[in-house]
Amino acid sequence: MAEIRPLSVSEVNRSIKSILLERKELKDIWIKGEISNYSPSGAGHIYFSLKDPTSVIRCTFFSFQNKNYKGKKLQDGMEVQVFGSINLYEPGGYYSVNVARVEELGKGDILYRIEKLKAELNAKGIFNIERKRPIPRFPKTLGIATSPNGAAVEDIIRIAKERYPNINILIAPCQVQGETAPSSIVSAIEELNNPKWEVDVIIAGRGGGSFEDLMPFNEEAVVMAYYNSRVPIISAVGHQIDSLLCDHAADAYVPTPTAGAELAVPEIEELENYLSDIENRFNQSLKYKLDIARDRLHLISNKHIFLEPRMLLTDRIQRVDEILNRIFLLGKNNISTKKNLLQRFENITIHAKSVLSTKDKQFRLALGRVDSFSPLETLTRGYSVARNKKKEVIISPAQVKVGEELELILKDQKKIKVEVKEK
Amino acid sequence: MAAKEKDVSFEEALQELEQIAEKLERGQLTLEDSIKAYERGMDLKKICNERLKEAEGKIEFLAKAPDGKIVKESAVRDHKEKEKKTKEEILF
């Protein structure tokens, strides 16, 4: 029995390598598959995997080979055929294809499936822009559907809390990778939509990964969960080149979980600035209003009428004055007329008096004189005056008839009646 | 400030504040109404500022209670030190 000596790892790897290299069927062969995990190195080499629905093989496309490649830029999902030989990388203990040439075959199966699903969902209106809702400006509670263990959840919490310390965060821990991920993501989104949690905005996603890692976010069920979310939902799956189907169904999408937190949560400083802005607007508006009011007041108070408020009255004063004048004149005229009249009357009276007194004197004088001539005086001397019934003094026989009764007036007005006997 | 305004949320207060600002800017209010609007606006701004300074929000995660119901559980985290004190289990 041969001595049993343990082999070193290197020896085993080298041994396998030599077997692989001997096999003609693994040398200078064409392999068909879809590129995934495309990853160029800094040194210019390109590492990627080729896969079909069940298997994967690593490929190395060294710079001295890939510099001759003139085809379309290689990327995940691209269906290609590569020409090369199987080699074993001893330090890593894995085999890979040393690629010499690459030819594009057309779209890879998976990518093709995604494109087909995308077209179907698009036709159903799942991606319609019109149905996208705005992300609430001031959410009270942020829901996160992601893995509780990845960097994504930590990034979201950190950024959200930095921006807005009073945000409430509710995490729905779910799987974001592997076969069970789609149903897990769907359940998490659905639970966050339960009204009792009072979630205002949801971030669903994960950190970056390979095309395969992100595949759950291309699954129809997941896309529909985004679509059916009652609460506005942000798709935040870390990726660079291709957009995922869930991105198109979400209300908004961002390339990283961190960006998701920035979109979902307002920054407290911004809010404070915004409030200050509003306060300024208030002050400006009120100042403007007051300025206008002041201008108007100024304009009005500068009007002649306010500078000379008497002006408002002068017309009236003048009118009153006029009326008063008229009344006065009228009164004055009236009075003076009356006065004149009175004066005239007085004058007349005086005149009349003087006339009267003159007349009186004359009268008295005359009376004295008359007295001496008075028949009454004569009567005392024995004369009498004869009068008829008409009190006419009889001075001629023609005035009387025979038989007519006459009256004789004697001294002291004594009267006797006589009858005419003859004439 | 009225007692009921203690319940006004930041968003509600801000919305009213924005509406009043717009009204005021349109300049169609009388001077007296403008002054009233201004005073109301300053009250609302105060409410907003108070809301912003309120206590820190909670960090919670959904978990299954022993009776199978989904409940909220507090996740004690110091996000500044990135240290998780509670380990959330994948629920879904």
What is this model's ipTM? 0.74
Q: What is the mean pLDDT of residues B80-91?
A: 59
Q: How many residues does chain B have?
A: 92
The model's confidence at residue A47, banded by pLDDT at 50, 70 and 90, is: very high
What span, in angstroms and rounded, lies between the C-alpha atoms of B78 and B76? 7
Q: Does B21 touch chain A (CB under 8 A)?
A: yes
- Regarding whether B77 and B36 lie in a shared domain, the answer is no
**How many structural domains comprise chain B?**
2
- Regarding whether B48 and B69 lie in a shared domain, the answer is no
Is A138 in contact with B91 (Cβ distance < 8 A)?
Answer: no
CATH architecture designation of domain A133-266: 3-Layer(aba) Sandwich (3.40)
- Regarding whether B72 and B47 lie in a shared domain, the answer is no
Domain extent for B38 = 3-52
pLDDT at A367 > cutoff 70: no
What span, in angstroms and rounded, lies between the C-alpha atoms of A183 and A148? 16
- Regarding whether B28 and B45 lie in a shared domain, the answer is yes
Question: Chain centroid to CA A51: how far?
Answer: 59
Is A184 in contact with B35 (Cβ distance < 8 A)?
Answer: no
pLDDT digits (tens, 9 = 90+) for B50-76: 888 876 788 999 988 888 888 888 876
- Regarding whether B48 and B7 lie in a shared domain, the answer is yes
- Regarding whether B39 and B21 lie in a shared domain, the answer is yes
* Minimum mean pLDDT range among A169-183, A193-207, A366-380, A384-398: A366-380
* DSSP H/E element including A386: strand A385-387
- Regarding whether B32 and B60 lie in a shared domain, the answer is no
Domain ranges of chain A: 9-107, 133-266, 376-419
Tell me, what's the pLDDT at A396? 85
Q: Does B35 touch chain A (CB under 8 A)?
A: yes
Would you tell me which CATH number, out of the four given (2.30.30.40, 1.10.10.10, 2.40.50.140, 3.40.50.720), belongs to the domain A9-107?
2.40.50.140
Is A157 in contact with B58 (Cβ distance < 8 A)?
Answer: no
What span, in angstroms and rounded, lies between the C-alpha atoms of A216 and A210? 11
| Burial state string for A58-79 with b = 16 or more CB within 10 A and e = fewer than 16 | ebbbbeebbeebeeeebebbbb
| CA distance readout (Å), A155 to A226, A271, A276, A304, B5 | 21, 22, 30, 72, 35
- The letter for the amino acid at B33 is D
The model's confidence at residue B1, banded by pLDDT at 50, 70 and 90, is: very low
- Regarding whether B47 and B8 lie in a shared domain, the answer is yes
Is A166 in contact with B55 (Cβ distance < 8 A)?
Answer: yes
CA distance, residue B39 to nearest chain A CA (Å):
10
A80 or A366, greater pLDDT = A80
Is B75 in contact with A171 (Cβ distance < 8 A)?
Answer: yes
Q: What is residue A37's three-state secondary structure?
A: strand
B14 or A312, greater pLDDT = B14
What span, in angstroms and rounded, lies between the C-alpha atoms of A325 and A334? 13
- Regarding whether B79 and B45 lie in a shared domain, the answer is no
Mutation target vs A (from B15, B25, B59; most A CBs, 10 A cutoff):
B59
What predicted TM-score, i.e. pTM, was given to this entire model?
0.54
CA distance, residue B22 to nearest chain A CA (Å):
9
Query: How many pairs of residues across A and B have Cβ atoms under 8 Å apart?
Result: 136
Give contacts of A163 with chain B, Cβ < 8 Å.
none
- Regarding whether B62 and B25 lie in a shared domain, the answer is no
| CA distance readout (Å), A216 to A119, A156, A210, B68 | 18, 20, 11, 27
- Regarding whether B89 and B66 lie in a shared domain, the answer is yes
Instruction: Please state, rounded to an integer, the average pLDDT across all residues of chain A.
Output: 85
